[in-house]
């Protein structure tokens, strides 16, 4: 109800303003567009609360997703070709999946086609007390590998 009263105040204020200070046609058009948009927003806010809830929850879900989602680019052919890897490649793919298809250092996505050419790196090198366990292994993107070499 408050929003309708505010809309009425806007209209009365605009009428008084246009009566004492002549306005151009474009000002009338802009005010008409403003009133139309404001009326639509009032209607949606008062009668379509479920729509607003769904819209904002979708915006929140989209905000939580990473900027580039590599799952959109993966096809069934790639998934089937993964089964043909040997055991070392399977292990590499498992580490790749554990890292959520991202580089361990820069968090950029690693394309699955580059996976055979990538090498393991140790998170904590042996010289600093690192262990030879899968939890101590990481896969880096080609840029980070060149940087660490």
Provide the CA 30 distance to its chain's centre, in angstroms.
34
Class of domain 70-148: alpha beta
Q: Roughly how many angstroms between the first and final C-alpha of the chain, as a whole number? A: 67
The structure tokens listed for 41 are 């927003």
The structure tokens listed for 57 are 């929850």
pLDDT of residue 33: 92
pLDDT of residue 37: 92
pLDDT of residue 36: 92
The structure tokens listed for 115 are 């996976």
Evaluate whether 44 touches 54 at the Cβ level (below 8 Å): no
Q: Where are the domains of the chain?
A: 2-64, 70-148
- Within 17-130, strands assigned E span 120-122
- Number of Cβ within a 10 Å radius of residue 3: 14
Over its length of 149 residues, how does the chain's per-residue pLDDT go in tens digits?
A: 788 888 888 889 888 888 888 888 898 899 899 999 999 988 888 888 888 888 888 888 877 776 665 665 555 555 554 444 455 567 888 888 888 888 888 888 888 888 888 888 888 887 888 888 878 888 888 888 877 76
Give the list of residues 6+ apart from residue 141 with CB closer than 8 angstroms, or none: 103, 105, 106, 108, 110, 114, 118
pLDDT of residue 85: 47
C-alpha closest to that of 144 among 117, 113, 121, 116: 121
Between the alpha carbon of residue 143 and those of residues 114, 119, 120, 126, 138, the distances in Å are 12, 12, 14, 23, 14
């Amino acid at each position: 109800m408050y929003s309708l009263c505010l809309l009425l105040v806007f209209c009365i204020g605009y009428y008084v303003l246009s009566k004492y200070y002549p306005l151009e046609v474009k000002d009338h058009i802009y005010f008409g567009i403003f009133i139309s948009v404001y009326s639509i927003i009032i209607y949606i806010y008062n009668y379509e609360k479920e729509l607003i809830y769904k819209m904002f929850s979708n915006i929140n879900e989209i905000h939580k997703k990473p900027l580039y989602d590599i799952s959109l680019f993966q096809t069934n052919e790639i998934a089937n070709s993964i089964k043909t890897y040997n055991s070392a490649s399977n292990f590499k793919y498992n580490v790749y999946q554990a890292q959520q298809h991202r580089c361990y250092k820069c968090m950029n996505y690693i394309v699955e086609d580059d996976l055979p050419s990538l090498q393991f790196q140790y998170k904590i090198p042996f010289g600093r007390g690192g262990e030879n366990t899968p939890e101590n292994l990481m896969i880096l993107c080609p840029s980070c590998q060149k940087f660490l070499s």
